[in-house]
Amino acid sequence: MLFSSILFLYYFLPLLLFCYFIVPNKWKNIVLLISSLFFYFYGEQLHIWVLLLSCFMNYLLGIVVEKSNHKKVILVITVAMNLGLLGYFKYVDFFIDNTNTIFQTEFGLLKVVMPIGISFFTFQTLSYVVDVYRGTVKANKNFLDFATYVCLFPQLVAGPIVRYKDVAEELQSRKHTMTNFERGIRRFVIGLAKKVLLANVIGELSVILLEANEASMVGFWVIALSYTLQIYFDFSGYSDMAIGLGNMFGFHFLENFNYPLIAKSVTDFWRRWHISLSSWFRDYVYIPLGGNRVSNGKWIRNILVVWFLTGFWHGAAWNFIIWGIYFAILLVLEKKIYGKFLEKHRIFGHFYTVFFILISFVIFNVNSINDGISFFKNMFGLGGLPLLTEETGYYIRSYIVILVIALIASTPILTNMFHKLKQRKGLNLFLNGIEPFYYVALLLIVTAFLIDSSFNPFLYFRF
């Protein structure tokens, strides 16, 4: 079930909110768990058992690792079981296919269907057991509360990756206030608008330009820009909606994006982009490997390991691995060679970052290495295409307004202007008065788009 669907917006969510707030506090987690399982089952009937198995397995392993005298052995078993489950469903056919290619064998593909969200809930449960092992949190003895944490529908299928320690207290007891609920509605509607009015529309442009009869170099650069903006507004919009829904139900999820497209370096970009994933790899892989408190050789090894895994986490395909290694190389170069130059020349640093981020999302989006090579040839004038054609020019002009709006919305300009205006007494009263009508109007516009359009994918559902 998509957050950006009529079924969710006008049936599932209102009914859930009604049931949730009429039951006593001791029943609220039960309502959330049942509704979350239904939410997941609606889109993943075949593999809901994988989610339930992950809940039972990590619930028991968390208790065992806390009580055991052989904590490290239990932890290794836990990691192996979780990664084994993830590896089978997500990577087994990738390994079979590459084995056949390298050794000229003919093993048949298993054609395993990957359960939705397995990468996200596997990382959540792994972080929980590791934190229990480290003594950061106590093992949860209440299976209902633990299952609610794992299955909580706002972040279940596409993140952000919520760590148990960040919501442990709220699972037991949380406050429900009108202020928090209103904040959640505002955040949800903004995320919904980012997804439907920006990501979906820009996604349509990239599809149109790829299928154009008269392609051009400029057209391929606009496709690269469209890829970047689409995935940013798609994923950050989903994160906004997840955080907003969490607020409605009394949870406080950490931020997952902080205007990454204004970054002045690739290092800065990854402090701002998919924060829950990058911080997960930092705390559970990079630091245990030694972080940067090792020799240069080992530090480079640590960076390569982390970014290889980051790329591979996104998908069982070579373009994702190349994407991860690509960022590892850039991060090493910034740290060791020209990082200080970028700090001194911030305007250059911004254009440098945008350029390499555009390139990265081309790698991220192509279906094969050959497709990527062809795409880059067309971008850089090696594919025999004209600079601009009448057809691509027409489509770019048709979408230029939405592209400009998206570029402005990817910065904090509008947010900062709004906050400055609210600091003025007269305007503050006026803006507070019209703000509810603004969000209602935005919701109505989104609803109209959803009714009229059939293009409504969530890109991160495939991870």
Instruction: Measure the CA–CA gap between 201 and 407, rounded to whole angstroms.
Output: 13
Q: 273 with 260: CB under 8 angstroms?
A: yes
Q: Which helix (H) or strand (E) holds 139?
A: none
Q: DSSP alpha helices (H): ranges in 366-424?
A: 369-379, 390-409, 413-422
Catalytic residues: 314
Q: Does residue 249 sit in helix, strand or coil?
A: coil
| Residue 252, Cβ density class (10 Å: 0-12 exposed, 13-18 middle, ≥19 buried) | middle
Is 259 within 8 Å of 410 (Cβ atoms)?
Answer: yes
Distance CA(281)–CA(360), nearest Å, equals 19
Q: Please check whether residue 158 is in contact with residue 1, taking contact to mean a CB–CB distance below 8 angstroms.
A: no
* Pairwise CA distance, residues 138 & 148, whole Å: 16
> DSSP string of 46-60?
TTHHHHHHHHHHHHH
Are the beta carbons of 214 and 378 closer than 8 angstroms?
Answer: no
- Which string of b and e fits 404-436 if b means at least 16 CB within 10 Å? eebeebbeeeeeeeeeeeeeeeeeeeeeeeeee
Phi and psi at 324, nearest 5°, equal -65, -45
